[in-house]
Amino acid sequence: MKPGKIYIGIDLTETQAMVSLFGSGMKEPETIAVGGEERYGIPLAMYLSSTGKTFYGEEALRRRENPQGEFFAGLYRKALEEFEEESAFYQGLLRQFLQRLLHLKDRYGSAANAAEICLGITVPEITDDVIRLFEQIRKELDFSEERFFLMDHAESFFAHTYHQDNMLWQHEVVLFDFSEREVCFYLLHRRGGRNLQMVTAEKKRWDVPDYVVPDSQVRDEFFANIIRESFANHMISAVYFVGDGFDGSWLKESLRVLGTNKRVFLGKNLFTKGVCYAAYRYSDSANWGFFYQCDYKTQGEIFLHIQKEGSPALIRLLEAGRNWYYETPAYEFLYDGTPELVFEIGRIGQINHRKQTFELTDLPQRPDKTIRLRIQAVAQNGRQAQVHISDTGFGAFFESTGKKWTVPMSFDTDNGKHGRYSV
């Protein structure tokens, strides 16, 4: 790990945030306590006093009834709702709250003056509005895409899991998150390979009825039935319990159902530590050996056939496995007069790429090698992309004609058997 570089992981839910740090000399991320021992949750609340001072978290809650200011809660949920209202008030409050969380690093000597910060944020679910919100916040906080990582809880669970002893993930690994009157279940599937291990997450969710919560025996039986349903036909080596819903000593029948051949862990800060690990791995160019696949990751890659110094070559226009909304590089080429462009499309899990050709029509009439084309592949979502081609002109000799071409591409195909990322 590079000295002077720290990784901050923030777990954000509708009601609270947790923050962890990971840096040089640390064996694992450390979660910042904000009260007593192992009290990590910071309420997503702000109080703006009439004197201009701002209070956050628990301090804001203590002042909520004070009429000498304004109290705001549910910052994350309300910031997402503002996209429908064409407002940005709560989005501004959330950005300010996140800035406050980033300053918590100042409690840690060397971290206070870190030369470089990588920030990871994990939320329960990734949607288009979540992407829009955090892309906007990323820019306002002045983080580049190389230093900012957004993911859901399943991916942060993945990152945490594969930084543990390999005996824990010898078979499948599961997590139960019991929070906010619901139980969320994540099960990690791993396909082993020589150079790369592909991991996907199975997800389920159960609402917790009102009658279940106050009676510990009823709650225990309710959860034991969830375990029976979830574990059917699976070989499990480790189980994680996360969330306030597991507080107390009510897990009796549930533990009996779990059996004795699994390692069981109870805690609350797994997601924030997991996103710290992910920020560390994703900002490092070294091969980790694990690859997480989900809907918000680009499901394949796109190459363009070119001639380089008289020899055939490939340029990768779109990289597999990155969050699909990340910016992609654009390239400029001198057109050599070939009648069509040839692309190769590879899907994660397939070895054989398929070719797709595109005929360039209506080209400007110019001398040989004076047509310069700009080419950029842009993902529309995890499974579809477009290649944009435009005439950029040729310096002071020929102005651009403004001509543009668009080539739609899809990674959904039955062609091919295995992949560049094959396992």
Contacts of residue 221, Cβ cutoff 8 Å, sequence gap at least 6: 253
In a domain, 74, yes or no: yes
Cβ(45)–Cβ(73) below 8 Å? yes
Q: Quote the pLDDT of residue 137.
A: 97
Beta strands 45-49 and 311-318: pairing type?
unpaired
35 with 98, same domain?
Answer: yes
Cβ(366)–Cβ(358) below 8 Å? no
Task: Establish how many alpha carbons lie within 13 A of residue 197's alpha carbon, considering only the half-sphere containing its beta carbon.
Answer: 15
In a domain, 281, yes or no: no
Q: Quote the pLDDT of residue 421.
A: 35
Task: Please provide the distance, in angstroms rounded to a whole number, between the alpha carbons at the two ends of the chain.
Answer: 28
Torsion of CA 268, 180, 49, 34, to 10 degrees: -10
In a domain, 282, yes or no: no
Q: Please provide the DSSP assignment of 241-270 as one string.
A: EESGGG-SS--SHHHHHH-SSSEEEEES-H
User: Mean pLDDT: which of 278-287, 333-342, 374-383, 412-421 is highest?
Assistant: 374-383
Q: Which residues pair with 148 in a beta bridge?
A: 119
Mean pLDDT of 178-207: 91
Q: Is 2 helix (H, G, I), strand (E, B) or coil?
A: coil
Round the average pLDDT of the chain to a whole number and report it.
Answer: 90
Domain-ending residue, one of 243, 276, 309:
276
In a domain, 421, yes or no: no
In a domain, 295, yes or no: no
CATH number for the domain spanning 361: value is 2.60.34
CATH number for the domain spanning 161: value is 3.30.420.40
Rounded Cα gap, residues 70 and 56, in angstroms: 12
DSSP code of residue 419 = B
Q: Is 4 helix (H, G, I), strand (E, B) or coil?
A: coil
319 with 249, same domain?
Answer: no
In b/e form, how buried is each residue of 280-294, taking b as 16+ CB within 10 angstroms?
bbbbeeeebebbbbb
Cβ(69)–Cβ(63) below 8 Å? yes
64 with 135, same domain?
Answer: yes
User: Beta strands of 44-181 (E only): which ranges?
Assistant: 45-49, 54-56, 69-73, 116-123, 148-152, 172-179
Residue 21's nearest CA partner among 5, 34, 41 is 5
Kindly state the tokens that stand for 386: 């477009």
224 with 193, same domain?
Answer: yes
Kindly state the tokens that stand for 134: 């955090």
In a domain, 365, yes or no: yes
Q: Quote the pLDDT of residue 420.
A: 37
Kindly state the tokens that stand for 86: 């064409």
133 with 163, same domain?
Answer: no
Query: Which of 131-145, 265-279, 307-321 has the weakest average pLDDT?
Result: 307-321
Query: Which of 95-104, 256-265, 282-291 has the weakest average pLDDT?
Result: 282-291
CA dist 368 → 335, 364, 365 (Å): 8, 11, 9
Tens-place pLDDT, residues 57-91: 999 999 999 999 999 999 999 999 998 887 899 99
Element of type H or E holding 102 = helix 89-102
pTM for this one?
0.89
176 with 145, same domain?
Answer: no
Cβ(370)–Cβ(398) below 8 Å? yes
pLDDT-based confidence at residue 110 (cuts at 50, 70, 90): low
Domain-ending residue, one of 151, 167, 186:
151
Tens-place pLDDT, residues 4-38: 789 999 999 999 999 999 988 889 999 998 876 67
In a domain, 422, yes or no: no
Domain-ending residue, one of 108, 126, 151:
151
Q: Which residue has the higher pLDDT, 26 or 397?
A: 26
Give the chain's domain count. Answer: 3
CA dist 352 → 200, 222, 347 (Å): 22, 47, 9
In b/e form, how buried is each residue of 212-240, taking b as 16+ CB within 10 angstroms?
beeeeeebbebbbebbeebbeeeebbbbb
In a domain, 417, yes or no: no
Q: Quote the pLDDT of residue 413.
A: 65
347 with 370, same domain?
Answer: yes
Is pLDDT above 50 for 419?
Answer: no
124 with 40, same domain?
Answer: yes
331 with 376, same domain?
Answer: yes
* Location of structure tokens 């110019």: 366
Tens-place pLDDT, residues 297-328: 999 999 999 988 788 999 999 999 999 999 99
| Boundaries of domain holding 162 | 157-276
344 with 389, same domain?
Answer: yes
Kindly state the tokens that stand for 338: 């070939």
pLDDT-based confidence at residue 337 (cuts at 50, 70, 90): confident
Backbone angles phi, psi at 132, to 5 degrees: -60, -45
66 with 194, same domain?
Answer: no
Instruction: Express as a percent the part of the chain with pLDDT over 90.
Output: 72
135 with 203, same domain?
Answer: no
